[in-house]
Each structure stands twice: as C-alpha cells, then as structure tokens.
Chain A
Amino acid sequence: MSDALPSPLLALKGIGKSFLGVRVLDGVDLDVVPGEVHAVVGENGAGKSTLMKIVSGGYAPDAGTIEFAGAPRRFSGPRDAQRAGIGIVHQEFNLLPERTVAENVYLGHEPVRRGLVDRRAMRERTAELLASIQESSLPPGSRVGRLGVARQQIVEIVKALALDARLLIMDEPTAALADNEVERLYVLVRRLQQRGIGVLYVSHRLKEVFDLADRITVLKDGRLVTTVPAADTDPDRLVRHMVGRDLSSYYPDRAAPDDPGPVRLTVHNGGNRKLRDIDLRVRAGEVLGIGGLQGSGRSALARALFGAAPFTTGEVTLDGAPVRLRSPRAAMRAGIAYVTEDRKGEGIVAGASVLDNALLAGRAVLPTWRGRAARTARVRELLAAVDVRAATEDQEIRFLSGGNQQKVVLARWLALGPGILLFDEPTRGIDVGAKSAIHDLVRRLARDGAAVLMISSDLPELLGMSDRIIVLRDGRIAGELPAGATEEDVLTLALGTVPAAA
C-alpha cells in the first residue's frame, strides 16, 4: 500500500530534536498520505509527543525537514501550523467549559464582520460542521461544560475541522472514552478519512491501532524502528518492536480457585445519587474486575467505598463487621486505598517531590513525629520495590513518566498496608512496560492477601486481570462474570443488549 501512494500530505525527513543536549528524536522519517490513518506507537518517552509537537508547531526541530502539502515548512507556532491545515486533538481536552460549543470551535479564528465577531456565522458554521460529520444533534450554543466526555471530543474534532485541517493529529483520543463511545469515534475517523483528511493517530491501545490504522510507525528511544502496513503485522510483533517482549507475558497468572481467603468486604443494598442496589462481596486474595461504560457508576462505586461520595443507603461490612465509610479518612483507617482514574488531577501533587507524594497519605492519616524516620525508610523501600525510576527522590513528580507516577501513587497506598485496594483505570496513559509492571504488582498484592477491585475500560486488561467481573449499568450491577469471560460477555451486560459491532 505504502509504495503505491503518491504525493504524501505530510513528509518528515530526518527529524531530530534535543533538549539541553539530550537527544529526544533522532533522524525520524514519517509520511502521511491523504485519507490515511497513520498510527504512531511506542512506549512513553519514545518521542511520540515530541514528534507530534513538532508537526503541530509546538516545537521547532533541530534537524530534518517538514514538508506539508508539497511545500517545505517551518512552523513558528501552533497558530502557524493550524493555518497551514494541521489540527490536533489533544489527549486532555483543550476546551473551555464556561464557553459555548461554537465559541470553543472558533477560538483563535473567530469569523469577523465589520470588525466584530460574527456570532451568528460562528454558530451556523459550527452547525454545518457538526452536520458534516453527522453530529447535528449537538447544539452549537450549549455550554461545553454541560456536555459529556464523548461529545466534548466531538467538539475537539470539529474544532480541528473548522480550521480546514487536512491533517489531524489525534493524541490518545480514546483515553477518556467508554467502549461504545470508542465505536463512535471509529465511525468519525473513517468519515474524516473519506473526506481525504490524513490522520496521525497516537495510542497505547493496540486494538484501536489495528482497528483503524492503515500504516503503523513504531518509535523507540527517539528513533524510528519501523513503519509497516497494519495488515502486515500483528500485536505481538508490534509489542516486540516497542519493548522487545511478548504480548502473552502481559497478564500475570490469576488466583487459583482456592487461593482467595475469607470475605473481606461486603456491600448490601448500597446506594447514593449515582448508585442503586449495590450488592457485592470481595474476598481476600481476589481481584474483582469492575466493568461497564463510562458513567455507568464504576467510579462512583469506587468513590462510595472510599468515602469520597459515600453510600447514603445500605450496609458495608469489613471482615464481617459493619463499617461507616463517611470520608476518605475513614476509609483509609479501615484499610481501603484508592488509586484514582485522573492521575494528574487527583492522584499526584505535581510540584511536590517523589518522596513527598509517596508519603502523603501516611502523613495525613497517621501523623507522627517520632516515627517519621522509620516511616520514610519504609516508603523508600516501597519506592524501590515498585521500581520507580527517578533521578532522585527529591525530583518533582511532574517530571516523571505516567507509569512512574502511578508507581509512586501505589507506593503511597502500600505504605498504609491496605487490606482493600480500589484501582480506577490504573494503566490509563501508561506505556506498555510500566503497564505490565503494574499488572504484576496488582496480582502480587492480591496474592499477599489484599482484596482488589479493579475498574478498567481496557477490556483485555479487565479480562486478563480479573478473577471475577462485575459489570455495572446505570448505577446498578448488571451482572457478574467468572474468570475466562469474553469481551462480548462484558459488553452484552454493559450495554444491556447484544453488542452492535465489536
């Protein structure tokens, strides 16, 4: 396929970039032809983000050339690249919740008539764009903050289209989406493709990559490993390219049937504003997977158990004794830990050091003065045990990769010796290597006697890790699946129907 394609839309040749003398990208070649979905994969730190920033005008390359639409280009900034026709859909949405859809879509290039912003034109054109991707149900005048995540992403894409983007960069576009929403995204991407728009698709999720991409480029340590047509490769080979390891080594062994110990946690008839009639039991040593769509109550369940948005009805018992989990502190005292979904917003204190982040929960819940040294020593051991890689423990955590940040968060909780661990999307946005390390850790914790609840939108992960799976729908438990269930089983329960097309 690639040989036969004429006149690429985007052609990068020998791109190099260094930060303070460290080579982050080195001699990368890449091209995208109109109507092609070109996926870029690689571990975190492989240079994907830097490459995308160079294409979208965020950074200027130190070496190499960028050709766009047949002409050599040097972008002076994001604005310049946008003008040229390169749009970018960010992993974290770049939208203003207080402003309307139209205002967001045309931010930076509002249509002007007689010196004033032509609001009507803005709304009309937004409506047209929405219609062009068959999303006309979205009103251009509504505040973005009121829209769901999936619709916000549509706004992001429309925002790029509004600039007549001929090349669209999508950086982890599914990170915030539930599975049915991912389906809609697929449809959207294919429509863009049909319109001749080239798509650079960055993702950790190999399933998506294979579902969508025409060609796949693998980066490793800032260098190009290979560019292959998607049809000529498979996930196993791709992962080997990325990390030199087999896909099959992804998930650690499940618990043996008689491994799980006594029941550690039960919920009877639990409910609050987002949950109803929750009944569940988790045993020590078991990993209970929680499936369901975004907004089905998965995170609400974790937050209820953690006391952040407590159950208002029902009973919870811990090791047979009833408990009231009114606040995170109460939950923590009861031995519950919660690794949140939104790592940047709720998981880490970006400006604090690795050590301070790891010590946070212990300091908050079990303040001590005399025991400080011992506690710090224990946390240091834990940081080493979970294999956090940082320059020093005093390094600010924001400089670490997502995987390392997640390990620090884990160390924070392990320092409390929790008997119950709630994981909400523990491997989201984390590179393949760190991902399996975290999987190993989760399993090891269960083996050491912890009860684990794990929420994941990544179905292979959910299926691969869980000893049992509970699927939520509309705030209720839709059903329970044993180990060895299939993706279809989960989806059937999650959607409440036969899945559309997976």
Chain B
Amino acid sequence: MQLAERNRLRVRFRPGGLAPILVIFVVLLVLLGTRQPDFLSPPSLMSFLGRSAPLILLAAGQYFVIVAGEFDLSVGSLVTAQVVVAARLIDSDPSRTWPVILLLLAFGAAVGLVNGLITTRLRVSSFITTLGMYLILVGAVYLWSDGAPKGGLSEEFRRFGRRAFEDVFLVGRIPYALLILLAVAALAVLLTRSDFGRTLVAAGGNPRTAELSGVRVRHAKTLAFVLSGLAAAVAAILIGGYSGVSFQAGAGLEFGAITAVVLGGVALGGGRGSVVGAMLGALTLETLFTLMNFYGVSGALRSTVQGAIILLAVAVSAMRSVPAKGIQ
C-alpha cells in the first residue's frame, strides 16, 4: 500500500509547483527574444522589470490573501485612490513627499485591516467584502476629488517609479522600482517561510484544523489583507511615479493580480501555492503584454489573445494537478 501511494505521487505534477509557469515564462521570453533580440539586452530588461514591479507587488500581496482562502478585489481601486490622494496631498510640494508616503502605507494597511475585519469578524465572504470596498473606494475618491484628480506629484515622489541608477556596471541601469521590488519580494519570501507564512497556508487549507492547532486564523487572515493593502500602497507609489496621476491608475489591476497569482499555480480557495509562483505569474503576464506590443497584435484583439493564453495555461496546470477547488 505504501508503494502504491508513493508511485502515484511520483507521476503527479506537484500541485502548486513552479514548473508550468516557468515553462510558459521561458517560452514567452524566447518568443520575445527572437522577435526583438535587443529586448534581452540588460538595460532594456532592467527597465522592463522596473515597470513590471507594480503588478508583481500586487500579485505578491494578493498571494497572501488567496493562499489564506480569500479574495481581494479592492486592490485596483485602492491603487487609484492612493495615487489620487497622494497627488492632492503632495500638491507638487517636494517637502510633503515622505509624510505622504508614510500616510499611503498607513492608508493601505488600514483598508486591508477593514477588509480583514469585515471578512473575519462579520463573516462576510471576502469576495463581497472587497467588492463592496472596491465600490466604496472608487466612489469615495471621485467624491473627494470632485471627479477629477487635483494637485500633482512631486518629482521626489515620482522618482521611485520613474528613475533609475544609471550607468551601472554590466546591467546599464537599475530602476529604483526594481530595487524596491527586490526588497519587497525578499521580504515576501521570508514571510512565507516564516511561521506566520506557513500557518497562513494552513489556515487557508483547513481553517478548523489550523484553529485547533493554535493558529489565530482570523488574525492571520486579517494580516493577509493588511499585507495586500500594503502591497497596493507600494504599487501605487510606483505606478504614480511611473505614469503620474490618473483615475485609471489602478483600473483592472485586481483582475490582473488574481490572474497572475492563479497563473503562478496558487489555488483559488487557498492552501497551496508559492509567492514566487505568484510573482512569476505577474511577470509572465507583463511579458505577454510586451510580447503583443512587439508582435504588433492589433490593439483590439489583445484581450482575446490574453484570454486564450490565460485559459490555456490554467487549463494545462489544472489538468496536471488536483481537481479544481470551487470559488468559495
């Protein structure tokens, strides 16, 4: 009997493993490289990584929420809100940059906290909680700014998403965004390896077992939402920096982040997957967008290509892993 179990396992693709997303990523990269060889030159690659940082950060934040068995649909509107708030508060005054950045982080954490508390304390499904939060944030930010963003971001604020260390040995340039991404990614990986990260996965996999093993499931899940909110804050700082103020700053990012996480092999419903996979999923998505730019896929047809590739990729990894868990 032990033998049977062992063998069945060896053949199985390890669910939540990185193999499928790595394969997709490499294939896309090769396609990109053959079409546009200089894309793979270090400076270009560095810029690409820098501008992909926001989605990767959001995917990392979303990972914690999804692996805990929840959803965060509010991150897109949170990013928009953050950027608009930042512009109005900074109002192009460089001296306000740092206080506002701290405020944004606090704001992100607070929104996450509210999401988490409503979900865990009031037992509202997180899909609904964060959908409601999405509506509230969008409405509130339009309301607060009278329908049009006001003020402006200071250059000090914008450099994080826009500027780079130039003339770096070997790689040419290193965007600040990339450094921030690396730092946050390292933190995220450490966090998933920590006791909190592991118990969070358990809380997503089987909350009752986790609770009876001493995991404070509600704390853990709430903290996951806070992490997602914080990630959205950092992403907002980078997006605001990269492209300035706009109501479109965060539009659709929640779906992008969730798609990325799922592409990266993280199961919706919780309990399995890695943060590296989630971030790789986001990078793959960004690569796909760039690929379409280089291959000149008609602007209007892009979503079709994107949809087809996502469906294909997820189908392939679903075939290889366990029966899909339903949305909760």
Give yes or no for direct A-B contact (beta carbon below 8 Å): yes
Looking across the interface, which residue of chain B has its beta carbon closest to that of A352?
A: B205
Check A400/B5 contact, CB under 8 A, given A306-B212, A329-B216, A361-B213: yes
**Which stretch in A76-84, A156-164, A338-346, A488-496 binds the other chain?**
A338-346
Residue A347, interface by CB 8 Å: yes
Min distance, Cβ B159 to any Cβ of chain A, angstroms: 33
Q: In this assembly, does B25 line the interface, its C-beta being within 8 Å of a C-beta of chain A?
A: no
Contact residues in B for A349 (Cβ distance below 8 Å): 201-202, 205-206, 209-210, 271
* Residue ID in chain A nearest B216 by CB atoms: A329
* Cβ B211 vs Cβ A328 within 8 A: yes
- Pick the residue among B3, B206, B210 that contacts A350 (CB under 8 A): B206
How far, in whole Å, are A295 and B7 apart by their CA atoms in the complex? Answer: 41
Classify the secondary structure of B's interface with A.
helix
Select A338's contact among B9, B15, B212, B216, beta carbons within 8 Å: B212
Partner of A347, one of B2, B205, B209, B215: B209
Which residues, 1 to 50 on B, are CB-close (under 8 Å) to A? 1-11, 15
Does the CB pair A399–B198 fall under 8 Å?
Answer: no
Residue B303, interface by CB 8 Å: no
Nearest neighbor of A391 in chain B, beta-carbon distance: B6
Q: Is the CB of B1 within 8 A of A46?
A: yes
- A306, A347, A356: the one contacting B201 at CB < 8 Å is A356
Chain A: minimal CB distance from B287 (Å): 29
Shortest beta-carbon distance, B83 to chain A, in Å? 35
Q: B272 near A: Cβ within 8 Å?
A: yes
Residues of B within 8 A of A361 (CB): 213-214
Determine the distance from Cα of A308 to Cα of B213 in the docked complex, in whole angstroms. 10
User: B154 at the A/B interface (Cβ < 8 Å)?
Assistant: no
B121 CB → nearest A CB, Å: 16
Are A352 and B8 within 8 A (Cβ)? no
Contact (Cβ within 8 A) B198 A359: yes
Asked if A20 and B214 sit within 8 Å, CB to CB, the answer is no
In chain B, positions 175-198 with a C-beta closer than 8 Å to chain A are: 194-196, 198
Report the interface size class on chain A: 35 or more
Instruction: Provide the bound-state CA to CA distance between A347 and B210, in Å.
Output: 8
Q: Tell me if A105 is interfacial: C-beta within 8 Å of chain B.
A: no
Q: Scoring A residues 396 to 410 as 1 if CB is less than 8 Å from chain B, else 0, what string do you get?
A: 100111000000000
Task: State A368–B193 Cα separation when bound (angstroms).
Answer: 11
Does B199 belong to the interface (CB within 8 Å)? yes
- Measured CB to CB, the nearest residue on chain B to A45 is B1
With both beta carbons as reference points, the residue of chain A lying nearest to B198 in the complex is identified as: A363
Cross-chain contact B213 with A21 (CB below 8 angstroms):
no
Using known A-B contacts A45-B4, A391-B9, determine if residue A352 contacts B214 with beta carbons closer than 8 Å.
Answer: no
Inter-subunit contact A22/B8 (CB<8 Å): yes
- Indicate if the CB atoms of B1 and A44 lie closer than 8 Å: yes
CA distance A361 to B211 in the complex (A): 9
* A19 CB contacts on chain B under 8 angstroms: 4, 7-8
A326 interface residue per 8 A CB criterion: no
- A69 interface residue (CB < 8 Å to B): no
Given A346-B208, A349-B206, A352-B202, verify A360-B194 contact (CB < 8 Å): no
**B213 adjacent to A364 (CB under 8 Å):** yes
Report chain A residues within 8 Å CB of B210.
Answer: 349, 360, 364
A23 → chain B closest CB, angstroms: 8
The reply to whether B271 and A395 contact each other, CB–CB distance below 8 Å, is: no
Say whether A332 contacts B208, CB under 8 Å.
Answer: no
- Tell me which residues from 339 to 397 in chain A have a Cβ below 8 Å from any Cβ of chain B: 340, 345-352, 356-357, 359-361, 363-365, 367-369, 372, 389, 391, 395-396
Interface centre among B195, B208, B211, B271 (most CB of A within 10 A): B195
> Is there an interface contact between B271 and A369, defined as CB atoms closer than 8 Å?
no
Question: Which single residue of chain A is at the shortest CB-CB distance from B190?
Answer: A369
In chain B, what residue has the closest Cβ to A308?
B212
> Complex formed: what's the CA distance from A221 to B3 in Å?
11
Residues of chain B contacted by A348 (CB below 8 angstroms): 206, 209
Q: Cα distance A71–B213 when bound, in Å?
A: 52
Shortest beta-carbon distance from B10 to chain A in Å: 8
| B-side contacts of A22, CB under 8 Å | 3-4, 7-8
Q: Which residue of A lies closest to B273 (CB)?
A: A351
In the complex, what's the smallest C-beta–C-beta distance from A222 to chain B, in angstroms? 8
Docked complex Cα distance between A445 and B272 (Å): 34
Q: In the complex, which residues of chain B have a beta carbon less than 8 angstroms from the beta carbon of A389?
A: 2
From 260 to 304 in chain B, residues with beta carbon under 8 angstroms from any chain A beta carbon are 267, 271-272
Q: How far is the CA of A137 from the CA of B204 in the complex (A)?
A: 41
CB distance from A365 to the nearest CB of B (A): 4
Contact A352 to B271, CB < 8 A, known contacts A345-B208, A347-B209, A367-B194: yes
CB distance from B9 to the nearest CB of A (A): 6
Which residues in B have their C-beta under 8 angstroms from that of A363?
195, 198-199
27 contacts between A and B (CB under 8 A): A21-B7, A22-B4, A22-B8, A24-B4, A45-B4, A46-B1, A328-B213, A346-B208, A347-B209, A349-B201, A349-B206, A349-B271, A352-B272, A356-B201, A360-B209, A360-B210, A361-B213, A363-B198, A364-B210, A364-B215, A364-B216, A367-B195, A369-B194, A391-B5, A399-B5, A401-B1, A412-B213
Residues in chain A within 8 A of chain B (CB atoms): 19-22, 24, 43-46, 221, 306, 308, 328-329, 332, 338, 340, 345-352, 356-357, 359-361, 363-365, 367-369, 372, 389, 391, 395-396, 399-401, 412
Known: A351-B15, A389-B2, A395-B5. 11 other contacts (CB 8 A): A45-B1, A332-B214, A338-B212, A346-B209, A349-B202, A352-B205, A356-B201, A363-B198, A364-B202, A369-B195, A391-B6
Residues on B facing A (Cβ under 8 Å): 1-11, 15, 194-196, 198-199, 201-202, 205-206, 208-216, 267, 271-272, 322
